[in-house]
Structure 1
Amino acid sequence: MRRGLNLADTINIRAMAANVMAPLLRQHGSLNTHLPSALQHCPPQDRALLQQLCYGSMREFFRLQALAACLLKKPFRSEDMDLQALLLIGLWQLRSSRIPAHAALHETVEATLVLNKPWATKLFNAVLRRYQREHKTLEQQLANDPCFTWNHPQWFISKLSHNWPEHWQDILAANDEQAPLTLRTNTRRQSRQQALERLETAGIEATATPFSEVGLTLAQAMDVEAIPGFSEGDLSVQDEAAQLAATLLATEPEQRVLDACAAPGGKLCHLLEATPRLQDVVAVELEPARAQRITDNLQRLGLELECKVLTADASSSDWWDGQPFDRILIDAPCSGTGVIRRHPDIKWLRQGEDVNALAQVQLNILTNLWQMLSPGGRLVYATCSVFSQENERIIGRFLKQHADARHQPIDADWGEERPFGRQLFPQIGGHDGFYYAVLSKVTDG
């Protein structure tokens, strides 16, 4: 019998991917928390493959899970979630990748040895070869399973179809597509047209975004460090929907501005780029590691002296100095259901009951920060969710509780007008799913 190997003996990218995904299958962490460390320990030439295996398998998760259940006589034990992850990775390669089948099968079977589970070698060889032979029959058997058909959990399908009976199928389809790479032009340094011409000179195809006046989308994703001007701060990665926040906030020089729940800082940096000479800008973020990301982004753009970053709770006021803000942006913590194509593990990690808890957090933050807005001030409430429970219904509840709050309709050609605010749905080749509402504080309460 061959002795079991481990990662100290050899590098197998499928085994590394399985170790990244195994905690997720136990509902621990996310790709964002587990993948970066694995990438650091991965040979540079294999990092793209590692990321592709993890994101591809999580993107097709519910279809792959259904196929795995058909192929296995009994499910893996909880201590063998690395094997469950490895099986999903193997199936994804055979079903959806351009990796030659013989290479995918060989490397996946070998990964069982690297994971120190040689007893699974014959099982994986048999199961994956059976999928090769019977894949059409297996998928026909699953045709009536909505989780397989739509590649989302049942609670999500039901809630989405209830919220958006005319749009839910398009939203689910968009969720399963890779998002484009969209950039924001730093207009302190160059115009969007200048940025487009600079990219064209470098042989990089890009187009102007239809709704954001500073956005541009690349025809092909690429390493951002290779984009002319990126390292100098001339461009930043930001989805078009997120770029709309700065315009809605409508900041003016000498105003005092608060960006709550500000990490990673994209909207914050945008509003600083768009409005020089603000009197005072405060960014609040609860988690220290995420607050550091804000600082890193500010430093990359040379904006660190124009903003104060506080590690604090936006639902509390113990950090507030008592001076009101003229503008407040609340990028509220949410289900992330509008950005699933960028974070495909959300489909598995998020549970239906999470939305109820998040809605309460969102209302608490909005209520707390309202006291900090000056009379005549403007507040923009934003989420990257497609569920009305986190969006227009929050605004409706809040308005009933605050006589000094006025809803300001958004006059725009993007998204769908709602009773309160506007809802954007994820678009294939276009922007993410997002929600915005604008409130003003009247002086006669």
Structure 2
Amino acid sequence: MSESFEGGRRTAGGSDGRSSNTGGSRKAEAGAVRRGKGQASDGKQRGTARDAALEVLVRTEQDRSYSNLLLNQTLQKYNLEKLDAGLATEIVYGTIQRMNTIDHFLARFVSKGLAKLEPWVRSLLRLSFYQIYYLDRVPDHAVVNEAVNIAKRKGHRGISGMVNGVLRNVIRQKDTLTIPANLPAVTRIALTHSHPEWIVQRWIRQLGEEQTERICEANNVPPRVSVRVNTMKYSRQQLINVLADAGLEVEPSDLAPAGIIVKGAGNMALTTWYENGMISIQDESSMLVAETVDPQPGEKVLDCCAAPGGKTTHMAEKMGDRGELWACDIYEHKEKLVREQADRLQLESVRTVVMDARELHNRFPPASFDRILLDAPCSGLGVIRRKPDMKWTKRERDLDDICAIQRELLRTVHSLVRPGGVLVYSTCTIEYSENEGMVLEFLERHPEFEWDREHSRQIYPYEHQSDGFFIAKLRKRA
């Protein structure tokens, strides 16, 4: 196995969830330690990778903000070099991913309890524990020294002494920190793979213990970078050749016909291939949605909840940009994202509208679309590996509210499908009540639709190293 901080997340880990001991480069560590605090001549704040990571973790916990958005803002603010930015990214996502496991172990070393610590002290201990326990390539002494320095700057001698003592005790005892195999299944899986017990319990009830553990394990594996080829300009093999000739390590997706896996290339959204409309960045599972809708040139198609536009533009490409593709979103700033993607790809068939999809029946007459995609708002429990925060912010009671919205959307948009037409319902979750349960409930009330199970699927994160997704193809009887 190999592991890299460059470009962001780690790329491999041991079977116990701890990173492989690769003995790799210390450049990220050295770069993070040497940088001092203060204000740079360009007005950007100076600090280490750990300063940046700490700021993101504190704000994520206090404000319940999205870590990915905060991280991007903070990295720009600190103006870190590439390797340091990679280390900060790894620390943030890794600490959030492993939060309850970290807290479980830290509780042994903090006598008054983590909950009684100031938020920044708690986050500092968490991110330091993550490096000591999970990142074998980062020297333990450097982690402790950096944490103590941060504690001195932000607190007082008492806090820095406590931080120093806790972390040195962690180092001395880290080989004894294990999750007992004889724990009840829910507790063992929750602590081993760092998921809330309510999610683990729910999945075991629906899917069984073995499959639940595979899902939870996969949720801690960093997502691969996948791009979708614009088939109006290139075949997949042609673009693979272009990318390979440019020195990129690429391979065709074994899941999505238009998908390409790209390794070690950094942010593909900053490339000329993206800018020129040759590729779009999209997960492989997500690409299957447009394949399932299968829109044909000249048809009238509706994407009910379209932002940020990946599925919309994919459908337009499959139509050869011939026909009428309406893309709706409830928020103006999100509708703008769809328009920007359509403009980047020079798609003229896409028409956008700002509207609550539950009101679309007031905008369009019944039976006015050949095909409709309802990519419904959902719990997002299939994309935890991309958004680890949601493990700790979602509550089980939230699912009832989400299901109510999905139910109402299906109730209002189904009438817009013409007889003989297609309604595709999709989510990025693996939750039964939002997926198969929702479709079965809909079909009970609307027997004019039939479920094309052959062209429907539930994808789990461990199957293809892609997002968890549900796609149901419903046909309206002619």
Give yes or no for TM over 0.5. yes
What's the CA shift string for 1:9-49, capped at 9, x where partnerless? 85233232222222433472221342232122121413323
1:440 is aligned to 2:475: yes
Structure 1 residues 430, 142: CA separation in 2 closer, same or farther (over 3 Å shift)? closer
The match for 1:109 is: 148
The Cα of 1:335 is off from its aligned counterpart by 1.3
1:345 aligns with 2:389: yes
Aligned-pair distance for 1:72?
A: 1.1
User: Cα distance, 1:429 vs. partner?
Assistant: 6.1
Q: How big is the shift at 1:6?
A: 8.4
Q: 1:328, 1:373 within 8 Å by CA — same for their partners in 2?
A: yes
Deviation of the 1:216 alpha carbon: 1.2
CA distance in 1, matches of 2:428, 2:156: 41
Whether the 8 Å CA contact 1:249–1:380 is kept in 2: the answer is yes
The residue type paired with residue 59 of structure 1 is Q
The match for 1:414 is none
The one-letter amino acid paired with 1:38 is T
SS in 2 for 1:315: helix
- 1:153 aligned onto 2:196: yes
Q: Using the alignment, how far apart are the partners of 1:329 and 1:22 within structure 2? A: 38
What is the CA-CA distance between 1:58 and the residue it aligns to?
A: 1.2
Q: Is the Cα contact below 8 Å between 1:264 and 1:294 reproduced in 2?
A: yes
Distance 2:239 2:358 in 1: 39
The CA distance in 1 between the partners of 2:156 and 2:307, in whole Å, is 40
Q: Does 1:374 align with 2:374?
A: no
- Please name the residue that 2:369 is paired with: 325
CA distance in 1, matches of 2:375, 2:125: 37
After superposition, what is the alpha-carbon deviation per residue over 1:215-244, rounded to whole angstroms, capped at 9, x for unaligned?
111243523156562321111211111111
Q: Give the structure 2 partner of residue 14 of structure 1.
A: 50
| 1:345-424 matches, cutoff 5 A | 345-411=389-455, 421-424=456-459
The whole-number CA distance in structure 2 between the counterparts of 1:360 and 1:117 is 50
- Segment of structure 1 superposing worse, 294-303 or 86-95: 294-303
Aligned to 2:465: 430
Tell me, what secondary structure is at the counterpart of 1:139? coil
Q: How does 1:63-212 map to 2 (within 5 A)?
A: 63-76=101-114, 80-97=118-135, 98-116=137-155, 119-139=158-178, 144=183, 145-146=187-188, 147-165=190-208, 166-212=210-256
Which letter maps to 1:312?
M
Alignment: residue pair count: 429
Relative to 1, partners in 2 of residues 1:294 and 1:116: Cα closer, same or farther, differing over 3 Å? farther
Amino acid of the structure 1 residue aligned with 2:309: G
**4+ residue runs over 4 A deviation:** 5-10, 76-79, 116-119, 140-143, 225-228
Q: Deviations over 1:361-380 (max 9, x none)?
A: 11111111112222221111
Q: Could you tell me how far 1:425 is from its partner in structure 2? A: 0.6
Q: Give distance in 2, aligned partners of 1:240 and 1:263.
A: 17
State how far apart, in whole Å, the 1-side matches of 2:181 and 2:56 are: 28
**Could you tell me how far 1:110 is from its partner in structure 2?**
2.1
Q: Is the 8 A contact 1:180 1:429 kept in 2?
A: no
For the residues of structure 2 that align with 1:289 and 1:70, how far apart are their CA atoms? 46
Distance 1:245 1:117, change over 3 A: farther
Which deviates the most, 84-93 or 320-329? Answer: 320-329
The whole-number CA distance in structure 2 between the counterparts of 1:100 and 1:381 is: 49
One-letter amino acid matched to 2:85: R
C-alpha distance in structure 1 between counterparts of 2:117 and 2:355, whole Å? 37
TM-score for the superposition, normalised by structure 1:
0.89
CA contact (8 A) 1:312 1:319 kept: no
**Taking structure 1 as reference, are residues 167 and 88 closer, same or farther at Cα in structure 2, changes over 3 Å only?**
same
Structure 1 range deviating more: 22-31 or 141-150 = 141-150
Does the 8 Å CA contact 2:361/2:416 hold for their aligned counterparts? Answer: no
Structure number with greater CO (CA < 8 Å, separation at least 6) is 1
Query: C-alpha displacement at 1:283, in angstroms?
Result: 1.2
Q: Percent identity?
A: 28
Higher mean Cα deviation, 109-118 or 213-222?
109-118
User: CA–CA distance in 1 between the matches of 2:365 and 2:195?
Assistant: 45
* Match in the other structure for 1:32: 68
Q: Deviations over 1:142-180 (max 9, x none)?
A: 983422223111011111111111521211111111111
What is the deviation of 1:315? 2.3
Moved more, 161-170 or 384-393: 161-170
1:388–1:102 distance in 2 versus 1, CA, 3 Å: same
Moved more, 429-438 or 238-247: 429-438
Whether 1:50 and 2:85 are equivalent positions in the alignment is no
Select between 279-288 and 243-252 the one with higher mean Cα deviation: 279-288
Matched, 1:238 2:274: no
CA distance in 1, matches of 2:343, 2:420: 32
Normalization by structure 2: what TM-score? 0.83
Q: Is the CA contact (8 Å cut-off) linking 1:329 and 1:381 kept in structure 2?
A: yes
Q: Which amino acid aligns with 1:387?
A: E
